[in-house]
Chains A and B, each alone.
Chain A
Amino acid sequence: MTEPTGNVPAVGGMAPGAAAGGLISSEPTVTEQSAAPAVNATAEQVGEAAVVESVAAARGPLAMEAIGLNKVFKLGRGAFLQAVRDVSFNLYQGAVIALVGESGSGKSTVAKLLAGQERPTSGQVVVDGKPINVRNTRSFREYKSHVQYVFQDPFSSLNPVHTVGFDLTRPVKLHQPGVKDTEAAVTALLEQVRLTPAAQFVVKYPHELSGGQRQRVSFARALAAQPTVLLADEPVSMLDVSIRLEMLNLLDDLRSRLSLALLYITHDIASARYFADEVLVMYGGQIVERGPAEDVTQHPAHPYTQLLIASAPDPDNLGSSLKAGNVVIGPGGAIAGKAGNVGPASVGCPFSNRCPIADDKCRRDNPALQLLTPVRAAACWRLDVAASPQASGSI
């Protein structure tokens, strides 16, 4: 078994929490990499990560802080996977923060860290000014009444042998011990997610419901704990396009009525544009760009964000690049033909092996977030080229 060498690369101005990431010794030299081939990780970031103000702060008081989160998974045989690297952001009551990225970018791991299901390798999750400390079942349960999680797949997240009534009665009894009339509470929950008449749904089993109805039950189950924070992990990606909008509108309505702090995880950046206040784009376990939703989607600065936006189906663009048989779609798109086969780079910027404008510095050093405006930041060495109007105009 090859041990990780454990020598932390001497990088100036290391971001908080980066020390633990150094355990996996991803010193940005080629020789080091070949010496430890089992390490499956992105490289240390170079430079101080910029502190970004969130546009979502205007919506309401601070609900939750993620500070310098790192998560390293052991894969066995000396291999490690850095799923999350130095991720910091805040959730505010009544605001939606969208976490956007492709499969394997670490967005679900971030949600699990916030939910207390996984413990960060380093970094903290702070609620009400106190770092969370989920040590045992009781503290986990207590934490759960603040923070709830909605899963992606409504077909597998509901137990097929329990009725909707049972699924909702249990969390009401657990999290609202003062409530005498649980039946009325369950009815109220079902009405909140617009499953009416409630009496008709209480006795149903998951297989008797459509996908959209099942996801509504999942929402109701999460709301039964009366949370302040709701983590929604791809809540609509398993649903039909025609139903997605209704579900997002329902979530938005719940957010404003219950003043929920909502983390919306998705790979569909178009829905983030409509639904979120702030968008965080993740790639290779780190945030590569963040800022106000409209701003990020209309003027993406990071080449990866530009690729994401160029890849989204665009109905307004009939007879597009696709039909012409032209695979070249903007900066980054040129290499997107290999997207399925190339993972994040382990040396330098994680996107450098797919980025059309990457240079030697990109392949050597991993950039930290740099401020573009007080509310926007991107982690890219070549922002002067990437964010220029010509580059984004060519998409």
Chain B
Amino acid sequence: MAPILEIDDLSVAYRSAGGDVHAVEHVNLTLNAGEVVGLCGESGSGKSTLAYGATRLLRPPALITSGSVRYRGRRITHGGDPVDVLTMNHKELARIRWHEVAIVFQSAMNALNPVLRVQDQILDAITAHLKLPKHEAREKAATLLDLVGIPRSRLRAFPHELSGGMRQRVMIAMALAADPEVVIMDEPTTALDVVVQRDILAQIVELKETLGFSVLFITHDLSLLLELADRIAVMYAGRLLETGSASAIMREAAHPYTQGLLHSFPSLHGPRRELVGIPGTPPDLRDTLPGCPFIPRCSFSIPACTEVDMSLAPVTGPPGPPGSHLTACPIVTPEEASQEGVLS
């Protein structure tokens, strides 16, 4: 699979009076064409900042301090060299946004304007990015609603007249307006209950298959990603701790933090597992942390952990294509990490 979006060594800091908050630190992440990559982390781990940084949607006091974001969409590069999103001017950015990379924002409750009808909001997005005559734009809005399974009659509805699940579908429909190559979804199902959540996920998978876009799916719920994503990246305190295929993460999680996440959700099927959870709280990102940021909460931590440079390296041991499963922890092997009760 060809990479379509390559985030390379990206760092983002929020300037504040109490010192810089290092929200994203030297993150490398690649999204391949047609792939669903799940980005998983706790609140405040920097996962949304990473996505908004990579699409240049951040405003001061946020500042991109290092890195590059290479985009290889065919319609832009025509098979030539990739373009760097971080060095673009506004005109170039406008060509990328929505046409190439679209975002489904967190909490559809707030992302829709409560005083405008759904139709007008979709039309806004269409007219801003596609040059279509009015009647065609209307027709396009209706087709988009068809696409996500909302009856056309709801075009004239206000957001408050729709259920939470329908509002989320409207957001997805808007993101798909200009037929993007990459769709970034920021916690699209977090406020919904499980039945509706499942519906929407199934719909995303189906749309992805038919329209052929790639998805960067951001969530705090690892259990959901294990089912949905092809590859998973686990983020903690602004850094990636582990990346790998969903099955590698599920069966051979290498980083103690990933193991902690895997042991924190109750499962419905199969025997009752012992749940341990992750004690403690994430670190303050204002401090510069020597070595691994997970040390205070990690039961494996040894003095050498403060020397760890937090670069991702291939996991030793399990078979599989080389370089597919990477971890930032050189101390713990997957076998050690998965041992029973280690996190108590």
Contacts and interface: CB of A to CB of B under 8 A. Distances in A.
B169 interface: yes
A311 B194 contact: yes
A315 B163 contact: no
Nearest to B210: A325
Contacts of B166: 340-341
A16 interface: no
Contacts of A243: 42
Interface in B222-278: 222-224, 226-228, 246-247, 250, 260-262, 264-270, 272, 275-278
Contact of A273 (B164, B198, B261, B268): B268
Contact of A308 (B194, B246, B269): B194
B149 interface: yes
B227 A320 contact: yes
Contacts of B262: 315
Contacts of B196: 102, 339-340
Contacts of B201: 322
B278 A337 contact: no
A336 B195 contact: yes
A340 B169 contact: yes
A241 B250 contact: no
Interface string A305-339: 00111111111111111110101010000001111
B257 to A, nearest CB: 9
A23 to B, nearest CB: 27
B88 interface: no
Interface string B176-197: 0000000000000000011111
A241 B222 contact: yes
Contact of B261 (A211, A241, A269): A241
Interface in A249-279: 249, 267-271, 273-275
A19 interface: no
Given A211-B43, A242-B278, A340 B163 contact: yes
Contacts of A320: 227
B194 A268 contact: yes
B111 interface: no
A336 B195 CA distance: 7
B320 to A, nearest CB: 15
Contacts of B202: 321-322, 325, 327, 337
Nearest to A327: B202
Contacts of B293: none
Interface of B: 42-44, 149-151, 163-166, 169, 193-199, 201-202, 205-206, 209, 220-224, 226-228, 246-247, 250, 260-262, 264-270, 272, 275-279, 281
The 8 A-B pairs at the shortest CB distance, nearest first, are namely A340-B165, A245-B277, A311-B198, A267-B193, A274-B266, A315-B226, A270-B268, A313-B223
Interface of A: 102-103, 210-213, 240-246, 249, 267-271, 273-275, 294, 297, 307-323, 325, 327, 329, 336-341
